[in-house]
Structure 1
Amino acid sequence: MDSLLNRRSLLRGSLGLAGGLALLRATPAEALARPTAASAASAATASRAEPRPWWELGLLADPVMENQLLHFLAATYSAQADIGEVLDTAHRIDVGDDWSWPTEWVSTADRIRAMGDASLARRHRHSAGHAYLRAANYYRAALIHHPEPGHPSVLETGRKAVDAYDKALALLRIPAVAVRIPYEHTTLPGYFFRSPHARGKAPVLIFQQGRDAWPEESKYVIDAALERGYHCLIVHAPGQGMAIREQHLPFRPDWEKVITPVIDFAVRIAGVDPRRIALLGWSMGGALVPRAAAFERRIKLLIPNPGVLSWGQSMFDQFNAMFPEVMALLDTNPQAFDAAMAQLMDAVFLYRWYMRDSMSKHGARSPSDLMFKLREFTNVPVVDRIRCRTLVMDGTAEAYSGGQAKQLYDALSCPKDYLLFTAEDTGLLHCQEAAQAVANHRMFDWFDEYI
């Protein structure tokens, strides 16, 4: 019973670097190596003994895929998915095949894109636009759980996602333009959404995602900003979206070097009030944006969701709980650590996926190199430099960086507020997954008061 309760306490939330770790830690390695009918039957027996909470769907034997499935079901709120299409795709996925997840999502996306093409050929603009909007999201879904980050299909699928999304914006007349934001010796892709309800110079909401999701996926945040008269600028930052897949720009701990160029770009846009800039970071972004705010004084409002004081410490806590013997080798014998991790990766496909994906996004050459890089992601030395008003968001079922939001809030010396979502309001999961209406309601009430 204890192991079952532990698993249930961790099978919560959506996408993020620690998400796979929390789920993997809660599930025996032998069960993750290749989920079988017997393991599914065992899980079904357990669920009859103790009813699953509403967010455990019980549709896929793979816990990480289950977690991600909820994320894409929730996209129906912003018309970026349809329930039948998502569940049909999940029904076709073979969790024992590393390639099944991306293959089936691309198959669905291709089919929906073809529907859009057919409608466009007959000048049905709205039908085509909505089909492209969903197809773009399904292409992005394919890349969430891809077994080979360097495979040519990754870039191809990413470009399909961008193409479908751009067509949707034009056909649905969503007030957005694609932008390229100057960054060091290159540019970062993004979109600027101009609110049709803005009067004079208006606030701008700079929004970024975390380790896995693209900012386009959180259309519900953009829609809510626009209807309130706020402009919105989203960015594929290093380690994210097309910035990592097409430009090979990895995550970096000194996130102010990313956000300062984004703000430089934003304040030059006509209609943007340079004194009312808000910065939001979702998932791993909740660890990155506080770092940027410690150095960037033009930010008026900061919202990390969930707030994270030390991303590196959170990751190490997860790894130490999962692999204490292996982690003991990291500093004394990195080569032995890599060898031990390679054995785990060979035996368990979820470990294999997680390590390959994380190494790719952090520009790491080996598992030990990844761990050394993760150590650098901490806000502890700079948190006292944050001056802007900050809303630290958190959930009682935060599984990926549990406890970090409260640690960040307590460490802040700036004007601050703490917003905790609970089971009662249904926003208890990571980034309020499947509770977008509740998240917007409470977050934008705060935003309206202080912007």
Structure 2
Amino acid sequence: MRPLLFTENESFWFETLRSFGHAAYGGADFGEVATTAQQITAGDYDGWHDQWLSTADRVATGADKAAAAGHRVSAREAFLRASNYYRSAEFFLHGHPGDPRIAHAYERSVTCFRIAAGLMTPPIEPVAIRYESTTLPGYFYRAADEPRPTIVMCNGFDGTVEEMHFYGAAAAVERGYHVLSFDGPGQPGPRHREDLGFRPDWEHVVGPVVDYAFSRPEVDRDHVALLGLSMGGYLMPRAAAFESRVNALIAMDGVYDLGDWVTAALPGSRDSLDRRLRATVDEDLDRALAAAMAADPAVRWLMEQGMWNCNAPSPRAFCAGFLEYHLRDGIAEQIACPTLVCSAEDDLFFRGQPERLFEHLTCKKTLMPFTTAEGAGAHCQSGAQRLAFARIYDWLDEVFGRR
């Protein structure tokens, strides 16, 4: 899809499209998104924050008034939209982790979502999942009062567990699936509240999450699927390679090697960059990274967001850490459950990665392409959620024999 706004800034356009797409499951109204975006100058991170915060505050105020007057449905719908708009407001600010605007918008996003969750029928249940010496935040969506197939899902590099409502959870519940969504280390809940950074061995995150799922009587233990969105298309396949209790896997979209992503804008061969990124000192590479960030807003955002996600002290330290995020060396081949790998034709971030993952799978596997011509060619099929989840969950219905 050609940009309708921010024609010279792919990052600003994609984040706008992301909110447009969330209208499919109640996370936005087209006019609110368009009006907000039209007041923003491409590349202006402060202006992006200010306009989205203003819209979020206005919608949240309307939600409060509706709730006070007893208009339950209107309040729920407005709180959902406000939650998404607050999420968007702080999106580009992580280059300055101490900026108080980040925590304010994040906490407002979570608060609005939890109010909306309590107004659902049945309510969406906030949960705390035991993980090492702490807990992970999540939500349990109950489709019925009986054991049902269950989808365990997480977001990726920059999205929240609350956003997963619009990116798969609501669509799954419509089809009779229970859903357990969660934020793992490096994702917003644990990162904001405990400074927990990403880890590549995601099986050590998903294991406790599956333990929690199996503790619930609603969960059909023989029909548990993992769904990973964006970078989750690496995280969940990594977990599935070591988690025998999983019965199906959805990578939306598939990722084979994140090291390719963080080295794409740098000069030199991958082998050379691997050595230089891991070196104790490489001032020339540090300068090359700084130049790439100055020249390309998308690279600047990637490095700043990655340093924040990983508690990395420098762009090179972040990139070096992400060299460990891969499914090479036979890891992809260990995945045993039926696997769906989604691929977006015009993916801004991971083009070509789904096909590489698919090639290495030895399990029963399906590659599901989404095209620009059908309006679904963007990263994670943003802007085409109804189309995408119809296909994705029809596939899962077939795998689980739910016709």
CA distance in 1, matches of 2:122, 2:159: 21
Out of 200, 211, 221, the residue aligned to residue 157 of structure 2 is: 211
Q: CA 1:280–1:233 in 2, change beyond 3 Å: closer, same or farther?
A: same
CA distance in 1, matches of 2:109, 2:131: 23
How far did residue 56 of structure 1 move?
1.3
SS of 2:222's partner is: strand
Out of 226, 230, 248, the residue aligned to residue 283 of structure 1 is: 230
Gap runs ≥5 in structure 2: none
Q: For this pair of structures, how many residues does the alignment match?
A: 396
Q: Does 1:299 align with 2:246?
A: yes
Give yes or no for contact 1:189–1:242 (8 Å, CA) kept in 2: yes
Q: Does 1:385 align with 2:334?
A: yes
Counterpart AA for 1:150: G
Deviations 1:273-310 (A, max 9, x none): 11211000011110111110111000000011111111
| 2:356 counterpart residue number | 407
- Aligned pairs for 1:102-251 within 5 A: 102-146=49-93, 147-196=95-144, 200-220=146-166, 221-251=168-198
How far did residue 138 of structure 1 move?
0.4
Out of 406, 430, 434, the residue aligned to residue 379 of structure 2 is: 430
How far did residue 174 of structure 1 move?
4.7
Give yes or no for contact 1:125–1:172 (8 Å, CA) kept in 2: no
CA RMSD in angstroms comes to: 2.4
Out of 299, 303, 312, the residue aligned to residue 259 of structure 2 is: 312
TM-score, with length taken from structure 2: 0.91
Out of 419, 426, 430, the residue aligned to residue 368 of structure 2 is: 419
Q: CA 1:353–1:389 in 2, change beyond 3 Å: closer, same or farther?
A: closer
| 1:85 counterpart residue number | 32
Q: CA 1:143–1:319 in 2, change beyond 3 Å: closer, same or farther?
A: farther
Q: CA 1:411–1:340 in 2, change beyond 3 Å: closer, same or farther?
A: closer
Deviations 1:21-42 (A, max 9, x none): xxxxxxxxxxxxxxxxxxxxxx
How far did residue 324 of structure 1 move?
13
Q: CA 1:347–1:301 in 2, change beyond 3 Å: closer, same or farther?
A: closer
Counterpart AA for 2:112: A
Counterpart AA for 1:413: T
Give the number of the structure with larger relative contact order, counting CA–CA contacts within 8 Å between residues 6 or more apart: 1
Deviations 1:63-94 (A, max 9, x none): 21111101101111111111111111112223
CA distance in 1, matches of 2:220, 2:54: 43
SS of 2:195's partner is: coil
| 1:260 counterpart residue number | 207
CA distance in 1, matches of 2:264, 2:33: 34
Counterpart AA for 1:170: G
CA distance in 1, matches of 2:109, 2:116: 11
Question: Quick one: percent identity of the two aligned structures?
Answer: 36
CA distance in 1, matches of 2:270, 2:250: 33
CA distance in 1, matches of 2:152, 2:286: 38
- Aligned pairs for 1:355-366 within 5 A: 355-366=303-314
CA distance in 2, matches of 1:308, 1:96: 28
CA distance in 1, matches of 2:389, 2:183: 22
Q: CA 1:66–1:327 in 2, change beyond 3 Å: closer, same or farther?
A: farther
Give yes or no for contact 2:258–2:326 (8 Å, CA) kept in 1: yes
Give yes or no for contact 2:26–2:81 (8 Å, CA) kept in 1: yes
TM-score, with length taken from structure 1: 0.82
Q: CA 1:321–1:283 in 2, change beyond 3 Å: closer, same or farther?
A: farther
